[in-house]
Amino acid sequence: MSEAGKRLLLICALAAGLLGNATAAASSRPDATDSPDALLQLMQSSYTQAARAVAREQSLADSAERRIAAARQELRLLQQYGRFADLQALLKRQQADAELSQDAALRIDQQITAARIALSEGQAAQAARALASLRERLVQINEPEQRDRAVLALAAVDAALGQRDAATQALGELIKRALRGEAGGEQQNRAALAYMQLAAIQLDMRDYQQGLLYYQEALRTAPDWAQHTQARARMGVAQMLNMTGGRPQAFEQLSAALAQFRLSDDQHGEADALLLQGFFLSRDGQARAAIAPYRQALALREGLHAQADVINALTHLGAQLAQVGQLAEAVLTTRRAVDLAQATDSASLQSDALNTYAEALAANGQPAQAFQEMSRAYSALQKMARLELVSQTGALREQFETDRQKLENERLNERLQLQQSGQSRLRWAFGVLAGLTALLLAALIALGRLYLTTRRLAQHDGLTGLYNRRRVLQLLEAEIERARRYQLQLALLSVDLDNFKKINDSQGHACGDRVLKDVARLFRQTLRQEDLAGRVGGEEFLLLLPHTGEAAALQLAERLRAQMEAELSVVPGWPVTASIGVASWMPGLGADELLQRADTALYEAKHKGRNRSELASQLGGLDSVPGGALPA
């Protein structure tokens, strides 16, 4: 059996296993609401069935206690499945309910929910404000399960604000507490969730190997009944395997996760898996096949109203559309991503959207606007680095103030020892600040490289790498001025490939693009270092030859033409040929006049049968180019 067949059988087996687990779990429960544990396990296997069970609980609630319990269950269910639009509406209804709003435990759940909604919209600062009071009262929460969920939410906010050390420490402590509990219980499920958040932090730092280890640990730790957690962990394993070179296994793990998400009607998970599937296909050389899952992921995310997820999906789809040549739609899609990102406080989302938009504009032949959007991306990247530095500094200052307060409350005979500890902490803080300074310097270097890349994008043709029309005409003006000032020789070659439309029509545009690249490579190999070459049209080129007289220019033109015919071919037996017009500069000629002379000579070469060079000085009537289109 082939490797592809084996992979298909494995995917089917994994999907069947997940289906069997879900079916067995459902059939073994006579009533999903008989106990909190039963409902919790039902939430892990089916959103639709769990939603019905919660609705049943609400309809049977005959006391304030049961109403509050049902309200908390509904919050948790919608949050687990990423139903953020429904969550926002539910939160407003609950907060307007006088009876529900009096319960302290429900208010904590509402704070956690508000923070999760804000994070889904790319509003990390808003999420931090939602949890500000909860951070101070964390130790006062009586329910271990609720305290752990609060820790998970706080760690997600810290990670979003760039305070990865604080998030990592809190998650590590949660895992230690949770793994001391009963095997197979809800505590182990929370430990698995913490492992996944640790993996997400590693992904953000591009440590894919460590991220893979955390996701695998989450998969091992999650109880058998926690199918939703397992599917999320499996998807994370797939993502990291793809990054570390295990693409076949990544496809298998992702397919199994996607099957479970669809089985449980988890639209949020399905959207994430589809986006990842599109990314895998794109990296696997299947660019066009990646478009469909990207579109499906976008549609699901728009239905869930998760703004940050929608922006992310638009950015991926726009980049993929540009890659396959659907440039008009790519520009519109990435422009929409930019507009939505500007409404968030996430510099990362803004930078990604602006970069992708700039690349789509450049590919669509709009270099000036591409440069402008790339500059905006540069500003967003600066903002991101600045915010991360500020948040890290704020965390250090807060820690320092806390330590100082403790010192003041300690007994007099312990102060000397604590001062020494404080000095050590300050040295550590200065070390961290020095590290942040190095990080900022690295970011500035990266931004400098980005600026150079953008500048090249604005001056060079994207296909051939030669100067674009705008730049080569600027250089022509400059060379004419230099020749006039210092009485130097200057020649111009106007080159047009013969029968290029026929190449595109009969062999396809991919073949035509290859021919253009081959011609550009020949120019770079043959021309002198001071010579300048640019692509000014589809198959039209200008070559500027400083310090070159008419005879030498004609000799070079013939050499290029002969090399092209001898060394380049469209297909075997079909050589690439060109017609060339040669003009030399004379005092009194401007750029337009010199171009006109070269184009007239080129026109004459076309009419004399193509695949030849003509001198402008040997032609009469150079005041205007003859009427009509230039022959191919």
The per-residue pLDDT for range 18-53, each reduced to its tens digit, is: 333 433 333 333 343 444 577 778 888 888 888 898
The confidence score (pLDDT) of residue 419 equals 65
The confidence score (pLDDT) of residue 438 equals 72
624 has a pLDDT exceeding 70: no
**Angle between helical axes of 186-204 and 227-244 (0-180°, round to 10):** 30
Residue 339 structure tokens: 């507009």
Please report where in the chains the tokens 């991220």 appear, as a residue. Answer: 211
More confident residue, 347 or 244: 244
Q: What is the pTM of this model?
A: 0.55
Please report where in the chains the tokens 């931090």 appear, as a residue. Answer: 128
CB 319 within 8 A of CB 356: yes
HEC letters along 262-288: HHCCCHHHHHHHHHHHHHHHHHCCCCC
| In the chain, domain spans | 382-459, 469-618
The confidence score (pLDDT) of residue 25 equals 37
- In Å, what is the CA distance from 581 to each residue of 540, 549, 626? 11, 14, 14
Across 371-390, average pLDDT: 66
Do the bridges between strand 613-615 and strand 578-584 make them parallel or antiparallel, or are there none, so unpaired? parallel
Architecture per CATH, 469-618: 2-Layer Sandwich (3.30)
Give the percent of the chain with pLDDT over 70.
Answer: 81
Q: Measure the CA–CA gap between 230 and 218, rounded to whole angstroms.
A: 8
pLDDT band at 384 (very low <50, low <70, confident <90, very high): low
Q: What angle do CA 146, 147, 150 make, to 5 degrees?
A: 90
pLDDT digits (tens, 9 = 90+) for 349-375: 888 888 888 888 988 998 888 888 887
- Residue 260: how many CB atoms within 10 A of its CB? 27
pLDDT band at 3 (very low <50, low <70, confident <90, very high): very low
Taken in order 177, 181, 184, 187, the sign of the CA dihedral is negative
Half-sphere exposure of 232 (CA within 13 A, CB side): 27
The confidence score (pLDDT) of residue 414 equals 64
Across 599-615, average pLDDT: 96
Q: Measure the CA–CA gap between 31 and 477, rounded to whole angstroms.
A: 84
CB 574 within 8 A of CB 525: no
Q: How far, in whole angstroms, is CA 152 from its chain's centroid?
A: 25
More confident residue, 554 or 85: 554
User: Which ranges of 222-266 does DSSP label H, i.e. alpha helix?
Assistant: 227-244, 247-263
457 has a pLDDT exceeding 70: no
Of the segments 130-144, 215-229, 244-258, 589-603, which one has the largest average pLDDT value?
A: 589-603
**Angle between helical axes of 291-304 and 307-323 (0-180°, round to 10):** 160
Q: Measure the CA–CA gap between 218 and 23, rounded to whole angstroms.
A: 23
628 has a pLDDT exceeding 50: no
- In Å, what is the CA distance from 551 to each residue of 52, 107, 555, 557, 621? 88, 88, 6, 10, 21
Residue 204 structure tokens: 């953000």
Q: Measure the CA–CA gap between 287 and 407, rounded to whole angstroms.
A: 61
pLDDT digits (tens, 9 = 90+) for 87-142: 888 888 888 888 888 888 888 888 899 988 888 777 888 888 888 888 878 888 88
Across 338-355, average pLDDT: 82
Q: Which of 197-206, 358-367, 388-397 has the lowest mean pLDDT?
A: 388-397
Q: Which of 243-257, 483-497, 596-610 has the lowest mean pLDDT?
A: 243-257
pLDDT band at 71 (very low <50, low <70, confident <90, very high): confident
Identify the three-state secondary structure at position 594: helix
Q: How far, in whole angstroms, is CA 1 from its chain's centroid?
A: 37
DSSP letter string, 116-182: HHHHHTT-HHHHHHHTHHHHHTGGG---HHHHHHHHHHHHHHHHHTT-HHHHHHHHHHHHHHHTTS-
Stated as kind and residue range, the H or E segment containing 632 is none
Give the percent of the chain with pLDDT over 90.
Answer: 37
The confidence score (pLDDT) of residue 30 equals 36
What does pLDDT average to over the chain? 82
Please report where in the chains the tokens 């040549």 appear, as a residue. Answer: 325
Residue 555 structure tokens: 């000799």
- In Å, what is the CA distance from 183 to each residue of 29, 143, 220, 540? 21, 19, 12, 72
Q: What angle do CA 628, 629, 632 make, to 5 degrees?
A: 145
The confidence score (pLDDT) of residue 450 equals 58
Which residues are registered as beta bridge partners of 540?
496
Question: 299 φ, ψ to 5°?
Answer: -60, -45
